[in-house]
Structure 1
Amino acid sequence: MICASRLVHSFRGVARYLETPKSNREDQVRVAWIEARNVVSDESLSIAAREMALVAAGNSRVRRPCLHLSISWAPEDDPSKDQMTEVSDRVLASLKMSEHQAMLVAHGDEHYAHVHAFANRVHPITRIPRYGTFYYRQIEETLRKAERELNFKETPGHYYQLPGQSAPDRRDSLSKRTHKATQSRGEIPFQVLVRDSAEGDFDAAQSWLDLHARLEERGLKLEPRGRGLVVTDGHEYAKCSSVARDASLRKLEARFNAPWSSAEKCSLDHSVQRLRQVVSKDLNPSDKRALVKEFIRLDAQIGGLKTKLTRGVYNSLRTLVNDEQQRGDLGL
């Protein structure tokens, strides 16, 4: 099981979301069942939401009084209503909210079982709010124990593991948006595809140029985004740190002993280095023409090419250009 949690301002907004069908398909039931906790109006989400809002208004300092939880089971699990309510109540108890107002809402429009709970952080009698960040560790501990006791598929968490479990690799964790989208379409997430095909390239690359070349062979390229790097096929993106263990921008810069450099800049730098090396060699006419054309291209692209090549190398290449132009062999 997994549980998502967030604090929101409007009870009515959550109730409206939970009641509104996602599609017009008659074979999909949005609300399978509803149960109330410490609420008088236990048959209507909108009326219950109004009741909660009135209680929350008793403590004006609480800006986001509504806690929204979503507990999901693995597709192969088939929990009963009693089991779903038991797990929901356990989670609320772990957050010390058993005495608070709450509504449990099970949805029937997904291929996996899940139940929502929205609860009032403001106590209905004392008006004292339940503060805190609604600790992931307490929630995960509750879910891990319930999985084992109720014989559901075990899902080791990042914050709590039972004996014999280990924390999952964070690279395997998808964003909520990606997870939901790929589940609904039955697709393999892009970051998983990239990791399966290119993780070894990140591990084996010896330089930025080497890494760019390896990824290019797979139709991929690196791009800076925010303070890090993403790998893309031009349509979808994945954080490099989600593809390989040591593929964050900081770790790659440390390994290559060089700051980030784009594929274009790496290619130009490599071409400049090649010009430095070959200008002193004896070249056949065909190689000489190719060298001269490469020099003309770089001279047009790079400002200060003379400085990069050194004046002597630059002047030697200029002489070659003049000689080839006089022969008319460049085809320019």
Structure 2
Amino acid sequence: MIPKINGLGRSFAGVAAYCLHDAPEPDDRRPETSERVGWTDTRNLATVRPERAARLMAATAKAAPDLKRLAGGAQGGRKLAKPVLHYSLSWARDETPDRREMSRAVDGSLEALGLEHHEALIVAHEDTRHPHVHVIANRVDPATGKAAKLGNSKLRLSRWAEGFEREQGRIRCEERVKNNARRRAGQEVVRNPWERPLHWARYRREGMLPRRARRARGPVDEKRVDMEAWRRAEAQAWEKVEDGRWLGFWRLETQARKEWAELHKRQEDTRQRLDRESRTVRGRLRIWGVERSLRELVGAIRGRGDLVEGWREELDRYHKHERAALGKAHGESAREIERKVRENYGRGLRDAERWAREMRDREGTRARGPSITRIVPQQPRPRGPDRGGERFER
């Protein structure tokens, strides 16, 4: 069992159209057929028709303030921007679960996420070798209008999947069992440093996405180098640079995660503290300050709602600038890593071309063969003086 959270969204109709139809075609036209859909089902909805279910869930999410008022709950809080939760459950290729078993697994996963009383649409697909089912859940509770808290949802699904496999009598993912055991023992689970970053959209937005390697197509002068030797040297130079490249991005990712967590915690603490202070006169005076005009000061004492909303908007703008500055800093660090990679790779290419040119020169010398020096035997010197061809006479 492999649970996978595909993410949060704003449109129930969009994700329902994707799950209820075939995969998109290469020309990006929306397919009209639904041959890959095996069966559909709903939870906590007054209909079993999937298209109508998507519209009902959208209406429930839109009526969240009215549901809160009818339930007698607090009217405050932010508007839920992404009420759609989309995740999938996949079985192994050698497994053949029926509809009853899939439905039971869906109910267990919804209970693990705390969404057993929420509206959900279930779509089973038959277009792959491994059986899998898609779940589209509404984060808004139809009874209270409150949004479900999905903190640590991946860990909750991981623990549920481990228990589900134990009930089936066979553990298929040993690594998940080890990681959950380490978490229960309070130990840290070390991720693979070479895997791709998780927050891919944010990395692309902030410029931290590693670009595709622009490997050289050939040396500057192919006629003067040994191409086979150059290819070997170029591959070695790229492997050496690529290891450092991914290590640098992994370290940057680890640092970015820590800094983003600290920033969000600091901003949330500031927001909660100012919310508490805005409930008292002294707190409102501390927020606005005595340098404000008399009208604003009187309004702050009386607790006018527009003034309270004013400082909230100002705080949100300030927090937005903080997040933008942090993202810009991470983007500059990523570009610095890419700059060093290009420099080292260029240096490796120059060394590879020089070495390949030397190999070509050696092969040329070896093809011509060694230079042969003709050895002329030396004539024996006469025993007597030989002048002008005359000899001693006996």
TM-score normalized by structure 1? 0.52
Match of 2:52 in 1: 47
> Matched residue pairs, number?
210
CA apart distance, 1:152: 5.0
CA apart distance, 1:23: 7.7
* Identity in percent: 26
What does 1:67-216 align with in structure 2 at a 5 Å threshold? 67-133=85-151, 135-151=153-169, 154-155=172-173, 156-157=175-176, 160-161=180-181, 170=192, 216=235
Q: Which runs of 5+ in 2 are unaligned?
A: 26-30, 66-78, 199-230, 251-339, 356-360, 366-394
Match of 2:3 in 1: 3
CA apart distance, 1:229: 2.2
Structure 1 residue matching 2:111: 3-state secondary structure: helix
Aligned partner of 1:90: which letter? G
Deviating more after overlay: 75-84 vs 11-20 = 75-84
CA apart distance, 1:262: 2.0
Q: Which runs of 5+ in 1 are unaligned?
A: 177-211, 232-238, 242-258, 275-285, 291-332
Q: 1:10 to 1:133 in 2, by over 3 A?
A: farther
Q: 1:40 to 1:219 in 2, by over 3 A?
A: same
RMSD, aligned α-carbons: 4.3
**Distance in 2, Cα, partners of 1:68 & 1:11:** 10
**Distance in 1, Cα, partners of 2:93 & 2:140:** 34
Aligned partner of 2:18: which letter? Y
**Is the CA contact (8 Å cut-off) linking 1:215 and 1:221 kept in structure 2?**
no
**Distance in 2, Cα, partners of 1:147 & 1:218:** 46
Match of 1:31 in 2: 37
**Distance in 2, Cα, partners of 1:265 & 1:218:** 9
Structure 2 residue matching 1:50: 3-state secondary structure: helix
Q: Name segments (4+ residues, structure 1) moved above 6 Å.
A: 166-169, 212-215, 269-272
**Distance in 1, Cα, partners of 2:181 & 2:111:** 19
What does 1:204-283 align with in structure 2 at a 5 Å threshold? 216=235, 222=241, 229=245, 261-266=343-348, 268=350
Match of 2:276 in 1: none
CA apart distance, 1:22: 2.6
CA apart distance, 1:168: 9.0
TM-score normalized by structure 2? 0.45
Structure with greater helix share of residues: 2
Report 1 or 2 for greater relative contact order, CA contacts < 8 Å, sequence distance ≥ 6: 2
Aligned partner of 2:23: which letter? K
**Distance in 1, Cα, partners of 2:193 & 2:93:** 22
CA apart distance, 1:79: 1.8
**Distance in 2, Cα, partners of 1:144 & 1:172:** 25
**Is the CA contact (8 Å cut-off) linking 2:2 and 2:89 kept in structure 1?**
yes
CA apart distance, 1:77: 1.9
Match of 2:63 in 1: 58
**Is the CA contact (8 Å cut-off) linking 2:238 and 2:345 kept in structure 1?**
no
CA apart distance, 1:69: 0.9
Aligned partner of 2:50: which letter? L
Q: Deviations along 1:124-177, whole A, 9 cap, x unmatched? A: 1111110234521100000011012113552233852599xx97963686789x
